[in-house]
Each structure stands twice: as structure tokens, then as C-alpha cells.
Amino acid sequence: MKLFLAEVLIIVSAPLVSGSKLRTCNATKIKPLEGQAIKKLLQLAGVSDPSAFVQIINSGFTIGANPELLPEATDAAYSSVPAKDGKSGDTAFPFGKMKALATVGEYDVCTGDNIVGVPDGLGAYLFDDETVRVVVQSESYGPLVYESRPYYVNGGSASYTGSHVQYVDYDRLRLSKLMESNATAAKAFKQSGSVIETSYNLRGQLVGKRNATGPTKMGAHDSNVDIDGNYVVALTPSKADWIMQSLCSAHLEHRHQWGPGIGMEDTSFVTNEEWFRYTNNANVIGLPAHVVDLKTKTAYAIGAFSLGGFEKIVELNPQHKDYVIFSLAGYNGEFGNPFPLTAKNAMGKRDDGSNYIWTENVHPARIYVGVKGKMEDGSQAPATDFLARNGLRYGQIYGFATELATHRDTFHINATNGAKVTGKWLKGQWRWNGTVLPFIYDSSWDYQNQPVNYFGTNYTFWNARGKNLKGFKCEHNTPDPRPNLTGFAQGSTMGYFGHYYVEDVKAILNAANGNLPAEFPASYYVYQGFKNVTSQIELGGKGMTANGLSAKVNQAGGPFSEFRAVDGLEIISSKEGLRLVIQEDSGNAFGERSFLTSVLEHADDGKELTYYFIGQSGGSRNTRSGVARVGIPAGSNIGGQAHEFSGVYDLSGLLASNRHRNWVVSAADAGYKKRAADASISTNDKYLLFGLQSHDQTAGVIKLFGADRGGQWLLFKPNLPA
């Protein structure tokens, strides 16, 4: 009998409680792990050094107990704080305070559950009126990098390695006071666990065990197999049936977050597999998104968004009770496999008579419009159908198209705040019909042809470098939270970002009367072009880097005066207006950067945004991370790889109370109450949830737990100048 680590911890820890009830475990009464029986169990689990493991467990490294921070305000070479393994650096951040909520390597002493890294997309909702449930996923890659511990779905009939989606519950009152106290987050911690307990594939089948000797005919995890069910990933997991591959960013969508009856019907965590590596000549299906019903802990693979893989998917304001709208961002086919291209061209040419090129990063900004309550053929769905109820079966993808001859990446070179592009949201040829087909039939190819109904015109999809060249990747998108507007901001790995609008939405959807519109008017405004930003950055006296330069420049091979690889991007709504949190993922050897902007505006008035330095983290030449190999927890840093801030969520509305000390938002409230509460709170009174990845931390307790790579999620309370 071989037990995995999570199973061992459950055996030796306090009993679990089932269902939706919070556990009553008293961690202080749990006896330390000791004795030959425990060592034997650990040996069965594959732990090579049981005594070291027992010592780590008994050290009290429970979720939230660690006060030390991975990010720093300035490099240790320019700080009075020494670089010491397991300890914080300079935490006198110039424009706010940070506190760790959870660290990879921590564990729940009552359930045996442990945090799996590297943390990425995250969000939160009220489990009940006394509990804030934080949902965080790991961007893990299974055997393609490090094989994380398995988790089990569908009653134990199937297992996944790779990315996990986990929750941690915090006491609402204690969490709301955490930044003003000296307590660690362990004082607010209640319990943790896995978010996904039931998993469906694209065909609506429960995911089952992988057939190790042939095709899996029923219950295959679609991203891992070809159209016949044959396993076609470059490497095979040793501890699980399937790989949940690279759940990158994600967005937690509250039910009816745009108004009474407007928006998704169920509070959901919208996540996505991002990229994969397949064997040669694999006739792959592609990478679906996964929408998790948080009430039932059920994950549904989604075909209606297309199957090119995504960076992030966010819900927009549909301004109509019968529709949903999402913004889609991502690679569009980062598979490392040329076979589908050959097969695609064997089927026929593009509408200009030339061959297709590979789809990766050949696409415009995209939105999905879905009709609630309909099946893929437009017929009425049963009210119990989760996908149909939330508009995820019958829908259409639209791409941003324009008559502008200049491609998107070129347009942004030296573009200034307020530069505008007028266009339309137009359809491609593809629409999901509920039938699982090979990737060669996917929407991802549509953007090399002209939009439907516009053949022979000057309208083309506004791709990064046109239809014949791969451009820079579309990274994070973030919804415009203002009422009566439909739009989103989006960034690029080139280093620019701006704001897209979907116009006349309410009138067009009213006229469509339950059908899918032909098009929408569109406009786009630049916030930041690919240009020198050093004069726009405020460091607040911090941000020194190990080589004597500063965080005013990006040093991913540079120094560069422009932003590089803008990845994380999230609009924060406040009493003062909208701001953006910016998180780079550039491979900066001296520490990856994060910023909070001045209030957003895109008037063409010669004014540019200001960027307030939040902090930096990691880097192979950073004094703490790269040279001294500081890890948190201690003993985890193997060196040589970057960190990355990734994921932002505004907790403020969930923690806000009125002058009578009553909560502003209750667990029974629809999501628009939370959005209104967020908008009423000043920036400097915000509690912002941040994710931070540390790819250099794979040793010590992280390795023993099968927790992939390190990282933290953090609370940040801004303190910007007036």
C-alpha cells in the first residue's frame, strides 16, 4: 500500500468534518507527530527523511503563522536588514503595508491539507457572514516541471497533478483588523481544502481514470488527449491520472455582480489551462477553460470560449438579464506541436488564398456573448443545467476589428495616453455547437480571415502583427467595474496596456431579443504605450537594486526604460476613481516589480499616468533571493529563477462595516452589493489581496509536501500621497 503525503497527514491529524460545515478542530490539542508508526507512514508516503519531516511538522508552520515576507522594498545591499534565510528583507514599503496571509509550505494541522504553489489567479467570497473564503489556484505544470501532489475528484475515481484550486477560510472580523494588529494571519485562519471535488470534461462526462495502455474512451481530461482519447502529452504523470496544466490567472465572479439579475447566475471561479507540450503529430483537441461552481465544488470544461488556451477570462457587464459577456485573453495555441497546422492547410487555404500560419499570438482582443438558458442549438435548456443557466452553451465570440492599417504592436510604439482606435466587435466563422472536434476546426484560426459579413472590405481583426506574423501575447484583462458601461483593460507582454469598450450594449441586446447580435460598435484608448516610463514612476525613496540602479528601470536583459511583460493587471474601484495594479513577469534578474497607478483617465490631453512602486521580489542577481538564496520557508530556495507578482483581488467590500459596526455586505447579497461597497472605499482604506510566485523555491518542506514551487498571498493596504 502506497500512501501519498496528504493521505498520511489526514491519518495522523484530527478528524475531518463533512459537508459545508466549518470544522471544529482545535489545533492546540493535536499531539506532535512522533513514534515509529508515524515514521513508517511517512516512508510509505515516499518521504526520504522522516525525522526531518516530523521536525518541520512540529515546528508549527500552520497556514498564516509565518510573518516573513518574500517581497522587499529595496535590495538588501542598500538596506540595514541582513539577508537571512527564512526572514524578511526591507519591509518599509514606500506606498503601503504588506502582511502574509499564506505561504507555500504551510499546512492545515486539522485536515492535513497543504498549500500548493506557485499561487496565481485568486479571489474571495463570503462563505457565510462570519467567514471570508479565499480561493487561490496554483500555476503548476505536473511532470513538465515539478509534479505536485495529486488531488482526487469524482469520489476518488480520477486524480490530477499539476495545478490545484484551493480555498482558505478566514474569520471575517479578525481579517478586517489584521493590518492594524501585530497578529499573524494564523489568528484569522479557520480551515482549508480543495475547491474542485467533481470534474466534467467537454462532453459532459465525469472525468475518470486514464487508460494506461490505450485510448480513454470515456471520461478523458480533454487537454491531455487527442480526439480519439489517446494520451498525447510529452510526459506522463507518475502520481496521478491527468495533468491539470498551467491554470494561469483566473477571476472569481459573484452572481449578479452587475445589478439585480444581471450577470452569472452562480458565483463561480473562472479559470483556464494556458499552454501545453504535446508529442509530435498529435491530433489534439486543445485547451478548455474551466468554470467552477463554488457552491457545489464542481468544475465544468467549457468549449464555447474556444480551445486555444487562455491567460485570463473575466466577466463584463452585459447590461441585460438574459445575457452574459466575457473578455478572453491568452496565447491562442501555445502547444509546441506543428501537426495541426499541416492538417489545417490540407483542408483548404485562407480566404486570401494563402496558407494558414500557426495560431499562437495571432488574434485580436476578444469577447464572448452568451444567452442564458439555451443549449448549443438554441433550444431551451433545463433550469438545472449549470452551463446553460450561466450562458456558457449558446454564445458567440467577437474580435476587435478596425480599418486601421497599423497593427496593434506597432500602433503602441511611443503611443501616448488617450490615443484612440475606433472599430467594431465582429464575428469569426466559428461557434461552439457542443461537439468535440480536433483543434483544426477551432475558432483560433478565424483571425487570419476577414470577419463574417466583411469580406472584401477594409475591416480586419486588429491582431498584434497582422495575420502573417506572431506578435506579443495578450496578457491579463480586467473588467471595467462602473455601472452602465461594458469594457475592460488589457495588457501585453510588449509592455503596453489600454481600455476597450463594447458600445450600445443594452440597446443591441434588447433588439436581439434572445438571439446573438451581428456586431457591436467598439473603441479602444491607450493608457500606456511602449515608451519611456521612468519619469512617471515614483519610488518613494525605495526600489534600489543590487547593481546600484533602481526599480525605475526593468533589468530583464536591460536596463529598459519601458515596461516589460506586463502580466498581472487589475482595475481597483475606489471613492477617488479607478486605478490599475500592474505586475510584470519579465525575468528581471534584480527583482520583479509591481505598481499602483494614479487615477485612470484616457483623455488625449498630454497627461500620462503616475506609477507608485509597491515592491519588488526575487531575481537571480538579487542579494536576498539570488546571492544569499533566502527562501521562505527557510531551506527552500535552490536559486536561479525569478519571482512574479500575479493576481489581484479587492477584499475591501467584503470587510467593510458601517458606522453601527454592521457588515455592509452579507453572504446572501448579490455581487453588485460588493461592487458598490468596493467603489465607496478610499484607496488608502483598501485591503488588496496579492499573489506572489517564487519559482526558485522547490526544496525543503515544499519538496516534502509535493507542493511544486513557492510563493505567498499577501494583504496590501495602500498609502498613496494625497
d(CA 673, CA 657): 13
H-only helix segments in 91-214: 172-176
| Mean pLDDT (whole number) for 682-704 | 94
Retrieve residue 599's grid coordinates: 487615477
Instruction: Say which amino acid occupies 642.
Output: A
pLDDT at 241: 97
**Contact assessment for residue 464 and residue 362, using Cβ atoms and an 8 Å cutoff:** yes
Running DSSP on this structure, what letter comes out for residue 703?
H
CA distance 307 to 330: 11
Tell which residue, 597, 390, 410, has the closest CA to residue 489: 597
Instruction: Please report the pLDDT score of residue 6 as a whole number.
Output: 40
Mean pLDDT of 465-471: 97
Q: What is the pLDDT of residues 161-191, one digit of tens each?
A: 999 999 999 999 999 999 999 999 999 999 9
Matching residue, cell 516512508: 43
Q: What is the CA radius of gyration of the chain?
A: 24
What is the rounded CA–CA span in Å between residue 572 and residue 602? 16
Say how far apart CA 474 and CA 524 lie, in whole Å: 15
pLDDT in tens, 575-595: 999 999 999 999 999 999 999
What's this model's pTM, rounded to 2 decimal places? 0.94
Q: Return the higher-pLDDT residue of 443 and 248.
A: 443
Q: At what angle do helices 36-44 and 50-58 cross, to 10 degrees?
A: 110
The predicted-structure confidence for 632-678, as pLDDT tens digits, reads as follows: 988 899 988 889 999 999 999 999 998 878 999 999 999 999 999 99
Please state whether 700 falls in left (phi above 0), alpha (psi between -120 and 50) or beta: left
User: Contact 265/320 with Cβ under 8 angstroms?
Assistant: no
Q: What is the pLDDT of residues 530-555, one digit of tens each?
A: 999 999 999 999 999 999 999 999 99
- Give the residues across from 399 on adjacent strands: 366, 426
Mean pLDDT of 124-144: 96
- Distance, CA of 521 to CA of 504 (rounded, Å): 7
Are 114 and 108 spatial neighbours (Cβ–Cβ below 8 Å)? yes
Domain assignments of the chain as residue spans, ordered by start: 1-59
Give which of 520, 715, 681, 533 is closest to 102, Cα–Cα: 715
As given in the structure block, the three cell numbers for residue 664 are 455592509
Q: Give the percent of the chain with pLDDT over 70.
A: 92
pLDDT band per the 50, 70, 90 thresholds, residue 57: low
Indicate the average pLDDT of the chain: 91
**Pairing between β-strand 189-194 and β-strand 268-272 as defined by DSSP bridges:** unpaired
Q: What is the pLDDT of residues 310-367, one digit of tens each?
A: 999 999 999 999 999 999 999 999 998 778 899 999 999 999 999 999 999 999 999 9
Q: What is the pLDDT of residue 48?
A: 52
Alpha-carbon distances of 668 from 125, 254, 662, 665, 675, rounded to whole Å: 11, 11, 15, 8, 14
pLDDT of residue 267 exceeding 80: yes
pLDDT > 80? residue 51: no
In this predicted structure, the answer to whether residue 72 has a pLDDT above a threshold of 50 is: yes
Secondary structure letter of residue 48 according to DSSP = S
* Grid coordinates belonging to 166: 484551493
Per-residue burial over 58-77, b if 16 or more Cβ lie within 10 Å, else e, is eeebbbbbbbbbbbbbbbbe
The label of the residue with cell 459545508 reads 20
The DSSP 8-state label assigned to residue 233 in this structure reads: B
- The pLDDT-based confidence of 110 (bands split at 50, 70, 90) is confident
Report whether 710 contacts 638 (CB < 8 A). no
Band of pLDDT at residue 12, cut at 50, 70 and 90 = very low
Alpha helix (H) ranges present in 48-105?
50-58
pLDDT tens digit string along 280-319? 888 999 999 999 999 999 999 999 999 999 999 999 999 9
